Amino acid sequence: MVKLRLRILLFPFSLIFAAIATIRNVLFDIGILTSVKYSIPVISVGNLTVGGTGKTPLTELIIRHLEKNKRCALLSRGYGRQTKGVIIANETSDYSTIGDEPFQVKSKFKNLIVAVAEKRRRGMYALLNLPEKPQVVVLDDAFQHRYVKPGLSLLVMDYYRPLWQDLCLPAGNLREPKRGIQRADLIVVNKCPDSLSKNEALFIQRKLKVANEDQIFFTTIKYGNPVPLNPQPELFQQLIALPGKSIVAVAGIGNPEPFFKMTENFLVPVKKLRFPDHHDFSVTDLKKMEQLCFENEDSPAIIITTEKDAQRLAASKSLSERLLKNIWYIPIELVFLFDAQNRFNSKLDTYVGEN
């Protein structure tokens, strides 16, 4: 009830926000504000919703497929970094210089060129002036950053946060009105249940007003086996089976609920620690984790966190050795439903091949 009242109070401000976003888009559409088109393939991955929709796993999937034959680059704003301007990542870069998500992706793809820039045009200029310039650029979280015109625009929606039930900021979580979806070339509905039926997929397609079935894809998140932040001899399954074991689930991501729900599958008591998205863990935060971890000294809890949070925890100079030995993270990947992976790959290949 309180949340509903707050939304009602904020609704007039959402109308103002929507009007401003609409005017801005119209200015781009009629050419008063200019979108620059580039001579190489540029793929944008973004969303309409504030918070986590699963863009990073999709970005990784795209890079994993394309880098087999092309020299790829990732261009991101680098949200949460402690630097400014254009930076091309190198071997000394970490989450504080390029942001946690670009650092995570860079850690997985050693040959990937990673650039961060608040102004995407400047980032593109830097990439295209490298001695070995990229053959494909993937723009991270760029659906509203229209100064760079992508040749292929992908929009990601969270299955559990449907656009047709949401409002613009601040009453809701939309960055612009729902009709912005019309700019997308491909739509990926992510975090779907494995059991999603064809009928429900068709319902979502109709609600999103997507006329072409070939334009929409449905994916689910697959959680991998826990990985120790500090390599150690114990196997996780043996460790979790010890008497008195429990879990402290730590998440500083946009939408942590699916992650927290997953940790319940280990069938031991779970305590949850929530932090804001891109949270920089303080000494106080680490002491809180350590306190929860070692409440039972005879059987310390296992800390399980997300892959993105693990990057920031591992880089913290305040992380104690004994806490480090008890932290594990869960890698994730995107899985396409309805055997659509090859169809999606074909869309990428066709676009890149034609450009």
Q: How confident is the model at residue 234 (pLDDT cuts 50, 70, 90)?
A: confident
**Domain ranges for the chain:** 2-70+135-222+335-354, 227-330
Angle between helix 55-66 and helix 341-354 axes, rounded to 10 deg? 60
Q: Give tens-digit pLDDT for 146-180.
A: 999 999 999 999 999 999 999 999 999 999 999 99
pLDDT of residue 255: 86
Q: Give tens-digit pLDDT for 31-73.
A: 999 999 999 999 999 999 997 788 999 999 999 999 999 999 9
**Is the model's pLDDT at 348 over the cut of 70?**
yes
pLDDT of residue 112: 98
Mean pLDDT over residues 228-241, rounded?
A: 83
Distance CA 29, CA 25 (A): 6
**Is the model's pLDDT at 3 over the cut of 80?**
no
Record: fold of 2-70+135-222+335-354: Rossmann fold (3.40.50)
Q: Where are the alpha helices (DSSP H) in 225-306?
A: 236-240, 257-263, 283-293
Q: For residue 328, give the H/E element and its range.
A: strand 327-330
**Hey, do 2-70+135-222+335-354 and 227-330 end up sharing a CATH topology, with the first three levels equal?**
yes
Distance CA 280, CA 282 (A): 6
Record: fold of 227-330: Rossmann fold (3.40.50)
Q: Which amino acid is at 267?
A: L
Mean pLDDT over residues 91-104, rounded?
A: 94
Distance CA 11, CA 6 (A): 8
Q: How confident is the model at residue 1 (pLDDT cuts 50, 70, 90)?
A: low
**Is the model's pLDDT at 2 over the cut of 80?**
no
Distance CA 292, CA 289 (A): 5
Contact in structure between 332 and 224 (CB atoms under 8 Å):
yes
Mark residue 79 as left, alpha or beta (left: phi above 0; alpha: psi -120 to 50; beta: remaining). Answer: beta
Q: Give tens-digit pLDDT for 309-343.
A: 998 999 898 999 999 999 999 999 999 999 999 99
CB-CB neighbours of 214 under 10 Å: 10
Contact in structure between 144 and 168 (CB atoms under 8 Å):
no
Mean pLDDT over residues 232-258, rounded?
A: 88
CB-CB neighbours of 140 under 10 Å: 25
